[in-house]
Amino acid sequence: MPISTEPSPAPRPLLGKIALVTGASRGLGAAVAVRYASAGAHVVLAARTVGGLEEVDDMIRAGGGTATLVPLDLRDFAKIDELAAALFNRYGRLDVLVGNAAEFGVFSPLSHIPPEIWSNVVDLNLTANWRLIRAMDPLLRAAPSGRAIFVTSAIGRASLAYWGPYLVGKVALEALVRIYAAEVANTPVRANLLDPGPLRTRLRARAFPGEDPKTLPLPDTVADLFVELASPECRRNGEIVSVSGDRMGG
């Protein structure tokens, strides 16, 4: 029998899955979306920047993947409900939800932060993710193995002066996702948080303006971890998965 010299096809652990990624127009969200598409998922790209969404769509299509573009400001909460209804009508389920969109805000003493800036940051970093859980939970439960992954940061657990709305949002997000994980523990749904560590993103540059971005890894270096947490085989639930010394340190 002749031995084939053709390379084995790349594994596609998310083949046929429907994945929604927020903040997908650049940075970490874009990297995760491209990786999910290469793993076989149809990716729903949600972000405010239409041009960025189109660029990510071009990358996905160049790799043979497929995507749906959803220009969306997550702070328009009613639009999240409309997106859930559209996903239900088209697919009847959602296999993977990635809550990645975030805003830094400003460095300021708590007493000096304008209320509109506080609201903008907390609405996006926290409340929008609760609205995503509220709207997408029935769709995740309708999937054979629904997976919800939210992006967090260890810096949120440090009580640093002048980081008010960003840190408050991240700490509360971790509590929110762990509560949700407890509520779905007896279902096939799994919900976790992923702390990707410092990455070369615009959000990082805003938080650390004096840092040389070339010293930081690119977002696509952690994209495989999102695939692992999205896979049907993943049994983790209610965990904060950190990118540290080992591949998936807790």
Q: Can you spell out the DSSP letters for 15-36?
A: TT-EEEEESTTSHHHHHHHHHH
- In angstroms, the CA 191 to CA 208 distance is 29
Sole residue written with tokens 């995740």 = 140
166 assigned to active site = yes
Rg (CA), the chain: 18
Q: Is residue 16 a contact partner of residue 40, using CB atoms and an 8 Å limit?
A: yes
Query: Cα 98 to the chain's mean position, in Å?
Result: 3
Of the candidates 36, 91, 162, 166, the residue annotated as catalytic is 166
- In angstroms, the CA 48 to CA 42 distance is 20
Beta bridge partners of 167: none
Determine how β-strand 240-242 pairs with β-strand 96-99: unpaired
Q: What angle do CA 32, 134, 139 make, to 5 degrees?
A: 65
Residue type, 63: G
Q: Is residue 47 a contact partner of residue 67, using CB atoms and an 8 Å limit?
A: no
Count the neighbouring beta carbons within 10 Å of the beta carbon of residue 168.
17
Dig out the tokens for 64 from the structure: 């043979």
Give the catalytic positions in this structure.
166
